[in-house]
């Protein structure tokens, strides 16, 4: 079974631009979560999607948004990029079927390294 | 609210000696607890998980962790370190209640494990 894939793996953008990152979950998984990893703040939860609906959201500004498609693939978008948005963005998938979906460990992709100049 | 404290930012051991990575957690409900490992420029890999079955949990690559509710701890151990264990380790908590816990893992700040020959 193929793992979680993320594209692109590396991105370089300039301040003020916007960026879209893509995540394809493990086949059969319907829940996708996004995380931001930086040296200063560590790993922080951005949001989670299940069956095309955002079920949970972390404490990030509205510049960070996402969506999920009917095939469970997910995208996240960051508008008006700032230098502080430079980070490794990780997505993770899980089946999400149980109401207590936290029982299910999340499977992580390799991440997209975003550099904002 | 849930939180995780990893008590050591860096741990250094010699190959063949025991490893102890310490983690304390805080959770309003009975939590799920995980240890993930991240090798340089790689995604996160699950080492083991606790979900209220046995309190001593065995994971991959010889790692294990013991859930101690009275101490709110979930320390990671390995009897004998190997060079390939050098990586960053994350203690992670997830509440078992839906709503604000959907898809959300809360990460500790990480412990970098160095293994000397």
Query: Per-residue DSSP letters for A3-67?
Result: --EEE-SEEEE-TT--EEEEEEPPTT--EEEEEEEETTTEEEEEEEEETTEEEEE-S--TTEEEE
Q: How confident is the model at residue B57 (pLDDT cuts 50, 70, 90)?
A: very high
Q: How confident is the model at residue A80 (pLDDT cuts 50, 70, 90)?
A: very high
Q: How confident is the model at residue B101 (pLDDT cuts 50, 70, 90)?
A: low
Does the pLDDT of residue A99 top 90, yes or no?
Answer: no
| Listed ranges A96-110, B37-51, B64-78; the one with the highest mean pLDDT | B64-78
Region B88-104 average pLDDT? 77
Does the pLDDT of residue A14 top 60, yes or no?
Answer: yes
Region A79-88 average pLDDT? 97
Interface residues from chain B to A (CB-CB < 8 Å): 32, 34, 36, 42-46, 49, 51, 90, 94-110
Which chain B residues are within 8 Å of A42, Cβ to Cβ? 107-110
- Predicted pLDDT at B96: 61
How far is B66 from chain A, CA to nearest CA, in Å?
A: 17
Region B12-23 average pLDDT? 98
Q: How confident is the model at residue B42 (pLDDT cuts 50, 70, 90)?
A: confident
Between chains, do B98 and A48 touch, taking CB under 8 Å as contact? no
Q: To the nearest whole percent, how much of chain A has pLDDT over 70?
A: 91
Does the pLDDT of residue B103 top 60, yes or no?
Answer: yes
Nearest Cβ partner for B105 among A45, A99, A109? A45
What distance in Å separates the CA atoms of residue B104 and residue A36, rounded to the nearest whole number? Answer: 12
Region B22-47 average pLDDT? 88
Between chains, do A33 and B101 touch, taking CB under 8 Å as contact? no
- Predicted pLDDT at A19: 98
- Predicted pLDDT at B56: 93
Between chains, do A102 and B109 touch, taking CB under 8 Å as contact? no
Does the pLDDT of residue A117 top 90, yes or no?
Answer: yes
Between chains, do A58 and B102 touch, taking CB under 8 Å as contact? no
Between chains, do A107 and B42 touch, taking CB under 8 Å as contact? no
Which chain A residues are within 8 Å of B98, Cβ to Cβ? 99-101
Which chain A residues are within 8 Å of B100, Cβ to Cβ? 56
Region B57-83 average pLDDT? 95
Residues 6+ apart with CB under 8 A from A46: A33, A34, A35, A36, A57, A58, A60, A64, A66, A76, A89
Between chains, do B105 and A106 touch, taking CB under 8 Å as contact? yes
Helix (H, G, I), strand (E, B) or coil at A94: strand
Between chains, do A56 and B44 touch, taking CB under 8 Å as contact? no
Phi, psi dihedral angles at B101 (to 5 degrees): -95, -10
- Predicted pLDDT at A21: 98
Contact B2, B27 (CB under 8 A): yes
Nearest CA in chain B to A48: B103
Neighbours of B85 (CB within 10 A): 20
Lowest-pLDDT choice from A41-50, A104-113, B49-58, B67-76: B49-58
Does the pLDDT of residue A96 top 90, yes or no?
Answer: no
Q: To the nearest whole percent, how much of chain A has pLDDT over 90?
A: 79
What is chain B's mean pLDDT, rounded?
Answer: 90
- Predicted pLDDT at A98: 59
Torsion, CA B70, CA B76, CA B78, CA B81, rounded to 10? -150
């Amino acid at each position: 079974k193929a793992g979680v894939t993320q594209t692109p793996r590396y991105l370089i953008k300039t301040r003020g631009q916007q960026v879209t990152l893509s995540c394809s979950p493990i086949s059969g998984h319907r829940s996708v979560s996004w995380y931001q990893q930086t040296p200063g703040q560590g790993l922080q939860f951005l949001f989670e999607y299940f069956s095309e609906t955002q079920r949970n959201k972390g404490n990030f500004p509205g510049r960070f948004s996402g969506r999920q498609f009917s095939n469970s693939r997910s995208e996240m978008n960051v508008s008006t990029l700032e230098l502080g948005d430079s980070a490794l963005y990780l997505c993770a998938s899980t089946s999400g079927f149980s109401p207590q979906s936290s029982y299910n460990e999340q499977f992580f992709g390799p991440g997209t390294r975003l550099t904002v100049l | 609210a849930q939180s995780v404290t990893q008590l050591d930012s860096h741990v250094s051991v010699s190959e063949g000696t025991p490893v102890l990575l310490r983690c304390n957690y805080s959770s309003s409900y009975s939590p799920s607890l995980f240890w993930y490992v991240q090798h340089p420029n790689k995604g996160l890999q699950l080492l083991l998980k606790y979900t209220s079955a046995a309190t001593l949990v065995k994971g991959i690559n010889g790692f294990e962790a013991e859930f101690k509710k009275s101490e709110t701890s979930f320390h990671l151990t390995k009897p004998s370190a190997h060079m390939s264990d050098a990586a960053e380790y994350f203690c992670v908590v997830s509440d078992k209640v839906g709503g604000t816990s959907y898809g959300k893992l809360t990460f500790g700040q990480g412990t970098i494990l160095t293994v000397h020959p």
